[in-house]
Amino acid sequence: MPFVTQPHRDSPDPRIVGDLCYQFYKDMVDTWKQSSRWTTAHEIYLKMRLNTNCLTLAADLNKRTAYELAWQVFFQKYVMPYENLKEKENGTI
């Protein structure tokens, strides 16, 4: 989970999966806050997919899973609210 305690945010330990998830999530949120739009969500997701596809060793599984879980939380908390707003503005399908 990305919502770790402040001491872990200040000094994340890459051996702890929650700290890994936090680091990936924070990067996604920081990128989103610079430009909140669908293209940004697409770019964040693409970066995650490309990076996780490179992680094939068993030792990388924790990192891969933390990255993918960070995306899932980010998508729910940032991208879907944005999409709900756009649906209200532009109408549904």
pLDDT in tens, 32-83: 999 999 999 999 999 999 988 887 766 688 889 999 999 999 999 999 999 9
pLDDT for the residue numbered 53: 83
Number of domains in the chain: 1
User: 67 Cβ partners below 8 Å, 6+ apart?
Assistant: 20, 21, 24, 48, 51, 52, 55
Q: Is residue 24 part of a domain?
A: yes
pLDDT for the residue numbered 93: 85
Q: Is residue 47 part of a domain?
A: yes
Q: Is residue 6 part of a domain?
A: no
Q: Is residue 89 part of a domain?
A: no
The range of the structural domain enclosing residue 43 comes to 19-84
User: In 3-state terms, what secondary structure has residue 31?
Assistant: helix
pLDDT for the residue numbered 59: 63
Confidence band of 7 (pLDDT split at 50, 70, 90): very high
